[in-house]
Amino acid sequence: MNTSALPSPAMTKPATLALPPTAAWRRLLRRVLGQHGLTIGAVMLAVIALAALFAPWLAPHDPYAQDVTRRLIPPIWHDKGTWDHLLGTDKLGRDYLSRLLFGARVSLIIGLVTAVIAGVIGTTLGVLAGYYGGRVDAVISYIITTRLAMPVVLVALAMASLVGGSLQVVILLLGLLLWDRFAIVTRSATQQLRDAEFIAAAKALGASTPYILLRELLPNLMSALTVVATLEMAHAILLESTLSFLGLGVQPPTPSWGLMVAEGKAYMFFQPWVILIPGVVLALLVLAINLVGDGIRDLTAPDGRN
């Protein structure tokens, strides 16, 4: 049977009066602009993402170049600041603005790749548990419970100390630890959808199980998965900063905001900007991601429910 000719979920549901494309886009735009948190978060996230993307062109200096004769120059708003180093330099004379821009790349890469790895693992387990139920659900639920019993920070610290810290190790480690929320959400949502009419219609037409899971069920989980992905992305960025601060994450001289805070902690009482600048930027990035996640949740919720 040619499964590509099977009807989509929309074809199995009662026909509704569709809005013209232009009216539908206007309505969506009004809803998006009505979510002030989503708008603010999206603008903040876009600015940070563009700064990271164009870091080689925006950075005024090489982020790895050291010059101890120019160490700990204060930012431009201080009396001893200079326009050559707008945000000053660190203890090795490296330009702080340049390291901040390249550090945004590290944080965003870790957040995105970790969310993808964790999403694939958690979604697969959650969908299988929710769709099949029975023993499959019992086994996967046991795996989820075992994962929830493991403290993420302690396990990450232990594994990073054994394997050694690096960008690849941090991404893989966090991806293997942060899948539980994806699994819980998709399992619950799949249990609610597996008996829906469009699933029953696909089964009646002879659709295979992989077709039902990938083409009928998974698209209806995307809004929930997007919200969970934003939360886990912010969680991964914070965990990476924690590991880097403790010396078990991204290793020097790679620019990392957590590592920048760790390198400046010895000067926090005399040059507080060395930890204040990367700390504030890290907080803004996490805030922007959380605002986008909350906005998407409210935007995709049924009308009249937040």
pLDDT tens for each residue of 167-182: 888 999 999 999 999 9
Q: What pLDDT was estimated at residue 12?
A: 41
Q: pLDDT tens digits for 222-278?
A: 888 999 999 999 999 999 998 888 888 888 888 889 888 888 888 888 888 889 999
CA torsion, ordered 145, 181, 127, 169, to nearest 10 deg:
-90
- The per-residue pLDDT for range 128-138, each reduced to its tens digit, is 999 998 899 99
Do the beta carbons of residue 252 and residue 71 sit within 8 Å? no
pLDDT at 3: 42
Look at residue 176 in the predicted model and tell me its pLDDT: 92
- What does the alpha-carbon distance between residue 238 and residue 283 come to, in Å, rounded to a whole number? 9
Inter-residue contact 75 to 88 (CB < 8 Å)? yes
Contact between 85 and 70 (Cβ < 8 Å): yes
The pLDDT of residue 136 is 93
- What sign results for the dihedral spanned by CA atoms 50, 85, 60, 272? negative
Cα distances (Å, whole numbers) of residue 143 to 137, 276, 303: 10, 40, 36
Which residue ranges in the chain fall short of pLDDT 70?
1-25, 27-29, 31-34, 301-306
CA 174 centroid distance within chain: 11
Region for residue 81 given its phi and psi (left: phi exceeds 0; alpha: psi -120 to 50; beta: otherwise): beta
Are 162 and 176 in contact by the 8 Å Cβ rule? The answer is no
* Residue 302: cis peptide before it, omega within 30 degrees of 0: no
Nearest to 89 by CA among 62, 104, 71: 71
Rounded to 10 deg, the angle between the 257-264 and 222-245 helix axes is 30
pLDDT averaged over every residue in the chain: 85
Tokens 């049977």 belong to residue: 1
Comparing CA positions, the residue from 121, 128, 119 lying closest to residue 187 is: 128
Distance between the two ends of the chain, CA-based, in angstroms?
43
